[in-house]
């Protein structure tokens, strides 16, 4: 049982200066190495990632992580969520393994808050993938993945819109390169959420994802109970937006009121 319906959210601008950023946005850096270097599956398939952006801009390129047995001609594409192919590009000059990139010429314009899919075709399978982690932890505002299972696939030859989650509950290493139409300022935003416990099996799910590396403050019945870094283990474990109390914290008691204070990153125009 989630607390979404019982949560009251107050948003306050934090007294922290905004930082301006221009350039490209992607989910992973070129130093990221996927957890599953090669999935032992030689069938032809198309793999993709569902995403949206907070602001308008252009998709300039797509990337995928290649294992040594992922051979053949790879073809990338950008789709609308309803299956309209907006652009296609063939990868050239690939290395034996690692991140590969193909640029769209010209770059493809995308609309803010519209859903898209970036994909590539692997004719001989053996794709790389990540576990089924909460995608929101790896968002790079104003670029966001859609849902927990943002990674999708479709088996078969030829270029098609990938639509199904991976069979082993993972995310293929397919990335997008997005360039906003204008410079952005990244402003920390302080959020405060309240939850009233109505069941001992209740899932405490935050409405947003804390900025990685920042502190999450947990209050119970008005008393500071705990604090932890976004990725740090403590009396509470934070996985994505799920806050799980441990025995050390006394667990969840019906009637208790919890409050969570944390920072999120918000990108806004500096035009």
Per-residue model confidence as pLDDT tens digits over 118-145: 999 999 999 998 766 545 445 677 888 8
Q: What is the DSSP string of 149-196?
A: --EEEEESSS-----B--TTSEEE-EEEEEEESS-EEEEEEEEEEEEE
| Residue, of 100 and 1, whose pLDDT is higher | 100
Same fold, 4-19+185-269 and 23-180: yes
Per-residue model confidence as pLDDT tens digits over 240-267: 667 776 655 566 778 888 888 877 766 5
**Highest mean pLDDT of the ranges 16-30, 31-45, 212-226:** 31-45
The CATH fold assigned to 23-180 is Jelly Rolls (2.60.120)
Does domain 4-19+185-269 fall under CATH 2.60.120? My reply is yes
pTM: 0.66
Domain range summary for the chain, segments of one domain joined by +:
4-19+185-269, 23-180
């Amino acid at each position: 049982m989630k607390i979404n319906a019982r949560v009251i959210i107050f948003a306050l601008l934090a007294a922290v200066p905004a930082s301006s950023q221009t350039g490209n946005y992607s989910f992973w850096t070129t130093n990221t190495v996927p957890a599953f270097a090669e999935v032992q599956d030689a069938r032809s398939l198309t793999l993709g990632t569902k995403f949206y952006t907070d602001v308008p801009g252009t998709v300039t390129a797509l990337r995928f992580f290649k294992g040594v047995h992922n051979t053949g001609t790879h073809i990338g594409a950008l789709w609308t969520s309803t299956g309209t192919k907006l652009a296609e590009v063939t990868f050239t000059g690939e290395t034996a393994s690692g991140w590969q990139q193909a640029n769209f010429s010209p770059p493809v314009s995308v609309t803010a808050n519209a859903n898209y899919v970036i994909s590539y075709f692997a004719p001989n399978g053996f794709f790389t993938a990540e576990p089924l982690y909460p995608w929101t932890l790896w968002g790079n505002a104003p670029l966001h993945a859609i849902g927990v299972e943002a990674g999708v696939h479709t088996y078969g030859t030829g270029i098609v819109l990938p639509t199904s989650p991976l069979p082993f509950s993972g995310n293929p290493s397919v990335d997008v390169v997005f360039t906003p139409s204008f410079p952005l300022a990244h402003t920390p935003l302080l959020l405060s959420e309240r939850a009233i416990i109505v069941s001992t099996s209740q899932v405490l799910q935050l409405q947003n994802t804390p900025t990685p590396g920042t502190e999450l403050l947990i209050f119970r019945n008005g008393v500071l109970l705990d604090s932890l870094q976004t990725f740090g283990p403590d009396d509470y474990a934070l996985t994505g937006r799920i806050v799980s109390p441990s025995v050390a914290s006394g667990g969840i008691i019906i009637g208790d009121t919890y409050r969570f204070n944390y920072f999120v990153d918000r990108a806004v125009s500096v035009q």
